[in-house]
Every structure is written in C-alpha cells, then in structure tokens.
Amino acid sequence: MPPSLPVVLRLKPVISTTHPTLHLHHRRTLPTFTWNNILRRPPSPHSPLSVYSLMRRHLVPPDFHTFPFLLSSLSLSPSLPFPSDIHAQAFLLNLSTHPHTQTSLIHAYSSRGDFDCARRVFEEARKYRCVLDLASWNAVVSGCLKVGLLAYARKAFDEMPERNVRSWSCMIHGYVRLGEHKEALGLFRRMQVEESWVMPNEFTLSGVLAACGKLGALEHGKWVQEYIDRCGMEVDVVLGTCLIDMYSKCGCIDRALSVFRTLKGVKDVTVWTAMISGLAMHGLGNESFTLFSEMCKCGVKPNAVTILGVLCGCVHGGLVTEGEELFGKMKEVYGLDPMIQHYGCLIDLYARAGSIDKAWDVVRSMPMEPDVLIWGALLSGARTHGDRQTCETALRRIIELDPSNSAAYVLLSNLYAKMGRWVDVRSVRDLMEARGVSKVPGCSLVELNGVLHEFFVGDDTHPESREIFMMLDEIMLKLKKEGYVGNTNEVLLDLDEEGKEVALSLHSEKLAIAFCFLKTTPGTPIRIIKNLRICADCHVAMKMISKVYEREIVVRDCNRFHHFHGGVCSCKDFW
C-alpha cells in the first residue's frame, strides 16, 4: 500500500455536457458498466480521468472493472497523475484488494518506474491469495531487476506458477546487467532442460550472447549462432551486433568480421561501432581507423561511442597523430562534445607515447574534474616511462577518489619502496589495513568442452591441483632452460627474491595454461580471460610458451587482447 494513502483524488470535471454519449438528461441514469465502457474508450478529446471525475460527481459507484480501466491509461501518458492517487481512491472504496485492481496497480506502478510500490502491491496480493496473471509476475521480476533487487526477483521467478519466454528473458538479462554472467548461462541451460517448449527469441539470445562475451565462453557463443541458423531466425541489426560483440570479446576477431560483412540489410551505427570497438580491443588500430573511414563514406554518422572505439584503437596501436586529429574533429566535424572518456583516451595516448607533459596539459585543460579513469590513464604511461613524480601524484589522487582501490595502494607502496622511502611504505600499508582494503586476487577463466574453469592466484582448490602444479613446474623448468628469468619488479617488495619467483609462478594465467596443457592436445589454441592487467613477467612467459610449445595463446586482460604466437605478441609489447 503506498505511503501516501489514504489521499482523496481531486479532479475537475472537464467533460462537455454536449457530447451525445454523456448528455445531461442521460448522465444520472447511466449504470456503472456503461461508465466503465466510456472509461475504456473515452470520447476524444476527453481523458479517462475526466470521465471518472464526472462519474463520481454524479454518485455513480465504481466496481472492480472501473480502476483497471482507469489505471491502464496511466502507462500511456506520463502527464497523468501518479498511480498512488488512483490507488487511494480504490482504497477508500474498498476495491484496492480486488485481483483485477491489484494486477492493474502492479502494471501501473511498474510503468512509472515505482518498483518499490509495485512490489508492495504484489506482496499484498499474495497475502490475500489473489490470482495474479503472468504479466503481473513478469512486471514484478523485471522491475526488481531494474533496481538491483536480484535475490527478490529470483525468488519471485522461482515461485511463478507458470513462465513464458519473457519471464526467462527478463531474468537472464537481469543477471547480465548485474554482472552475474555465469548464472545467466546456467539459467539458460535450465530453461532448455526444464521448459523445452518455451522457445528462446531474439531478446533471450541477445542476453545469452552478452554473457558469453563477458565470460569468453566461445563454445557457448558458437552454439547460440548455430541455434539461430537452425531455427531460421533472421540475424537482424540487434542479433548481428550481439554476435559481433561476443566473437570480439571471445578473441575471434575473424569470426566477428565475418558476421559483420555478411550481415544483410542496412548497417546502423551500433553495428559499425561494435566492429570498430572489437578491432580496437584486439590492438588493430589501423584496421579500426580504416573501418571508421568506410563507415563515414557510407553516410553513417558516428556517435560518441564510435569515436571512443576509434580512439581506443589509436591508444592500443600507438597512433598519436591519428588520435589527435580525430579528437580535434569531434566538435567541429561530427558535432559531438568530448566526454571524460574521450579525454581519458587522449591522455592515455600521449602518456603511453612518452609525452607526459602533453598528457598533463590535457588534464589541466579539461572542462570537468579528473576522475579515476583520467588518473589511471596518466599513471599507465608514467609507469612505463619511469616518471615517478607523476606516478605518485596519480596514485594519491586515485586513492582519494576511490579509497577501496587495492591496486593503487600496492602500486604506491612499491613505488615508495623503489625510491627508498620506507616510512611512506609503512604509512601506505597501515592506511590500507585501517581501511580494510585487501588486494583483489588475480583470476583467469578458460572454457574447455563447454565447461568454464576458474583459477585464482595460488589456487590449490581445484580437484586436479597436484597435476596442475606438476605441469606448471615442468613448463617453467623448460622456459628457464630457454633463457627465461622471472621479472620480480612488480611483486610485493616485502618478499625475498625466492618468494617473489614463487609468487610469479603461481599467477592465475600460468595455472590456467598448465590446466589447458593437461586437458588439450598439442597445438590446440588456448584462450584465457583475466580480470586484471597482465603483468610483465606473465607477458614474457606467454611469449616464450607460444614459441617453445608451438601454441597460439589468446589472453584478454582488463585492457585489451594479447595474441601470442611464435614468441611475439600482437600488442608489440605496447600495453
């Protein structure tokens, strides 16, 4: 029940008495069902509310059909009163607990974005054992997911007396939106097993593809495309964009390009942007720039996200001149005001190229306050080029803006240690401990035979940990014979050198590699999804493994893709 109850709705009667349906000598004798019909389809230009106002003025009592008709009008026009006003009227007339009214109230509140009230009406309806229709259940599940009430939405979903494709699709998309991607795929599998008669539609599959992309679940993504082909679904702009995004994020940029080139119909800006961003993510800066030029020649106007994708391509490809020119054209040529993300790319572009002074100039000239993204971009280049003063400034600002950012504390502590400022090292560690900040563990995910396997740094919880560690020892021993020397510069500096080498060998991507060596035949490509930026030591190790063992290794870290083949990386050691 809304907190504003009871409130009496005050409406002015605005219906003309000259309308034939509501002529003065008829109005006093019209029964309730006639007024309800008029409410359902009010004579133009009158609104349902004005009809209801006139109905009450002439003391005609509403029934359980009146408020559903009235409430249905609220979703059609945002200028009409909020549902709580109508709810108050229903409450005062003892009609608020009728099933028809409660179903309509759930829809009305949901359509206006008041999911808390929709949920409370839903709970009241269940308390009175009202039979709610499927649309009401779906509205509650969808609404709760929109405001982040995942546990409540899942509980309601599990208790639904029946489900349709919308029910499953809303829940899958809700999981994806709230970052629960493995749960989204698990729910999709459950949908196929438990309710195989419910056929997934384009909306369902777009959510599944988004989850596949986030997890790097390539086999799942391929199955979805095969399912689309088997069912004869048209790969329209929406599904095409989802497939391009999924294949790009799973490391198969060639498949993404194939989908893009074979997509029928007119490609809109979202399709072009997905492909441009995919190329940029793989470090193919020149290719993303070329595709951007092709898009413009086709008469498709870029949006802010398109420009951001091209700028990212420039950053990963080291295309400073091209990035400068594109940023300069945003306002003048494309009519787009640069957002903070665009400034971040320009700063990153300069900083990585060693132009730290130019990067600082951009920071100072920005029309908005720098955020964590900006300081992070400055930090990345400053670390690469050894500008310790800029590193310290950037890290301190990151900690101010994001006190829970564990990586910033660790990097600042290590920076002070390299400078011999041991008092500051202790101060940073104490601050980290006082705030309860713990280091985010590295995590790597691989998919084998349709099953996702997750590894954390130093993880010994896997059922085959013993075999994995033995294989890893064998791999590292072979690399050392080929000249590998561990890079311990970025390891926590309170460990001795031997401890640092052990810590390096237990990084999550190395454990994932060892597991894949155990489970796949020689020559099989390996794809790894990592939650953090790949460290310099693992980068060197991956290059050597790809050469020594003749394996193609694809690693997606939090910044970009790295394709290791024959001892070299696609990033050209620029990441």
Q: Are 455 and 538 in contact (CB under 8 A)?
A: no
Q: Does residue 474 share a domain with residue 399?
A: no
Among 106, 133, 162, residue at a domain's last position: 162
Q: Does residue 36 share a domain with residue 109?
A: yes
The answer to whether residue 251 is domain-embedded is: no
With a cut of 80, say whether residue 43 has pLDDT above it: no
DSSP letter string, 137-155: HHHHHHHHHHTT-HHHHHH
Dump pLDDT digits (tens) for 385-397.
Answer: 889 999 999 999 9
Among 128, 162, 196, residue at a domain's last position: 162
Output the CA angle 150-156-160, nearest 5 degrees.
145
Total count of domains within the chain:
3
Q: Are 488 and 501 in contact (CB under 8 A)?
A: yes
The answer to whether residue 347 is domain-embedded is: no
The answer to whether residue 87 is domain-embedded is: yes
What residues have CB less than 8 Å from 574, skipping those under 6 apart?
A: 316, 318, 352
The answer to whether residue 73 is domain-embedded is: yes
Q: Does residue 559 share a domain with residue 434?
A: no
Q: Does residue 76 share a domain with residue 93?
A: yes
pLDDT of residue 4: 38
pLDDT of residue 550: 94
The answer to whether residue 187 is domain-embedded is: no
Q: Does residue 49 share a domain with residue 5?
A: yes
The answer to whether residue 524 is domain-embedded is: yes
Q: Chain-wide mean pLDDT for the chain?
A: 85
User: Helices 115-127 and 83-92: crossing angle, nearest 10°?
Assistant: 30
With a cut of 70, say whether residue 1 has pLDDT above it: no
Amino acid at 380: S
463 CB neighbour count, 10 Å cutoff = 7
Among 419, 440, 461, residue at a domain's last position: 440
Q: Does residue 47 share a domain with residue 148?
A: yes
Q: Does residue 156 share a domain with residue 27?
A: yes
pLDDT band (50, 70, 90) for residue 76 = low
With a cut of 60, say whether residue 18 has pLDDT above it: no
The H-or-E segment that residue 468 falls in is: helix 465-481
Q: Does residue 423 share a domain with residue 521?
A: no
The Cα–Cα gap between 96 and 58 comes to: 22
Dump pLDDT digits (tens) for 285-311.
Answer: 999 999 999 999 999 999 999 999 999
Q: Give how far Cα 331 sits from Cα of 326, 334, 471, Å.
A: 10, 6, 55
pLDDT of residue 77: 57
pLDDT of residue 418: 79
pLDDT of residue 407: 84
User: Cα–chain-centroid distance for residue 105?
Assistant: 31
Q: Does residue 563 share a domain with residue 459?
A: yes
Q: Does residue 481 share a domain with residue 412?
A: no
DSSP letter string, 415-453: HHHHTT-HHHHHHHHHHHHHTT--PPPPEEEEEETTEEE
pLDDT band (50, 70, 90) for residue 75 = low
Q: Is the dihedral of CA 137, 143, 144, 146 positive or negative?
A: positive
pLDDT of residue 324: 94
With a cut of 70, say whether residue 44 has pLDDT above it: no
What residues have CB less than 8 Å from 186, skipping those under 6 apart?
A: none
Q: What pTM, to 2 d.p., does this model score?
A: 0.82
Burial class (CB in 10 A: 0-12, 13-18, 19+), 558: exposed
| Percentage of residues in the chain having pLDDT higher than 90 | 53
Higher local confidence (pLDDT), 145 or 24: 145
The answer to whether residue 128 is domain-embedded is: yes
Greatest Cα-to-Cα distance within the chain, rounded to the nearest angstrom: 104
pLDDT band (50, 70, 90) for residue 71 = confident
Q: Are strands 526-530 and 553-556 parallel, antiparallel or unpaired?
A: parallel
Region 39-63: what's the mean pLDDT? Answer: 74
We report the CATH number of the domain holding residue 427 as 1.25.40.10
pLDDT of residue 82: 65
Domain that holds residue 1: 1-162
In the DSSP assignment, the letter for residue 492 is -
pLDDT of residue 6: 33
The answer to whether residue 540 is domain-embedded is: yes
Q: Does residue 429 share a domain with residue 403?
A: yes
Q: Does residue 502 share a domain with residue 377?
A: no
pLDDT band (50, 70, 90) for residue 10 = very low
pLDDT band (50, 70, 90) for residue 23 = very low
The Cα–Cα gap between 168 and 196 comes to: 12
The Cα–Cα gap between 127 and 293 comes to: 61
